[in-house]
């Protein structure tokens, strides 16, 4: 996005029913051009990746037959698939570089990226070898996803277990999606 969201676009949030527009403006503020730019990127991230991944993990855990593990790549690097410039964290599809070993021979220049790549590769190989369990000797334990204590394995300067990132925003999106489903079924109230 080269243009930040405009004041007019921001005002359109007020046209959402009930408290939804005000809630979105609190979680995705836009007082300055830079804040609007980051909020726009954040809402796209959360609508396109964050909420769908969380919803899938939750539903798979409830109805699926396979174990659920959730990963979150947060390793920022000067080398990226496509999102150069003014950004925070990893870009969509950067995980491909780590899994393909793009940093394997570049440890001097990119030591943290090499470390993250090695960890991700080990977890993914274990996942494939075991038919669904990424854990292995020498790796931080990656527990199954649990909706009651939702955590993800974050890949950032290593691997560590963290609470689901952006959970408050994802919860708002989840409640809004439920509101839309209820509205379509004739059960919604403001």
Instruction: Return the exposure string of 116-133: e unless at least 16 CB atoms fall within 10 Å of the residue's CB, then b.
Output: bbbbbebbeebbeeeeee
User: In 3-state terms, what secondary structure has residue 163?
Assistant: strand
- Residue 30 pairs in a beta bridge with none
H or E segment at 159? strand 159-163
The DSSP code for 157 is S
Listed in sequence order, the residues at least 6 apart from 85 whose beta carbon sits closer than 8 Å to its beta carbon are: none
Q: For 42-83, how does the pLDDT look when each residue is reduced to its tens digit (9 = 90+)?
A: 999 999 999 999 999 999 999 999 999 999 999 988 887 765
Quote the pTM value: 0.85
How are strands ordered across the β-sheet holding 151-155?
71-73, 151-155, 159-163
Q: For 127-165, how does the pLDDT look when each residue is reduced to its tens digit (9 = 90+)?
A: 999 999 999 999 999 999 999 999 999 999 999 999 999
| Contact (Cβ atoms closer than 8 angstroms) between residue 95 and residue 103 | no
Q: In which band, very low, low, confident or very high, does the pLDDT at 172 lie, cut at 50, 70 and 90?
A: very high
**Distance (Å, rounded) from C-alpha 28 to C-alpha 22?**
10
């Amino acid at each position: 996005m080269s243009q930040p969201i405009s004041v007019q676009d921001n005002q359109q949030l007020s046209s959402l029913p009930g408290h939804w527009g005000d809630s979105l403006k609190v979680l995705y503020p836009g007082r300055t051009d830079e804040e609007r730019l980051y909020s726009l990127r954040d809402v796209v991230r959360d609508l396109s990746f964050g909420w769908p991944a969380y919803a899938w993990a939750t539903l798979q855990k409830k109805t699926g037959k396979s174990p659920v593990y959730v990963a979150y790549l947060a390793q920022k690097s000067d080398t990226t698939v496509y999102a150069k410039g003014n950004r925070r964290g990893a870009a969509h599809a950067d995980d491909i570089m780590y899994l393909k070993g793009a940093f394997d021979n570049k440890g001097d220049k990119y030591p943290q990226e090499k470390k993250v790549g090695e960890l991700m590769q080990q977890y993914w190989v274990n996942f494939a070898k075991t038919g669904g369990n990424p854990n292995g000797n020498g790796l931080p334990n990656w527990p199954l996803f649990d909706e009651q204590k939702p955590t993800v394995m974050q890949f950032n300067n290593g691997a560590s277990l963290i609470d689901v990132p952006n959970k408050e925003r994802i919860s708002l999106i989840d409640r809004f999606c439920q509101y839309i489903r209820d509205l379509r079924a004739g059960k919604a109230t403001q």
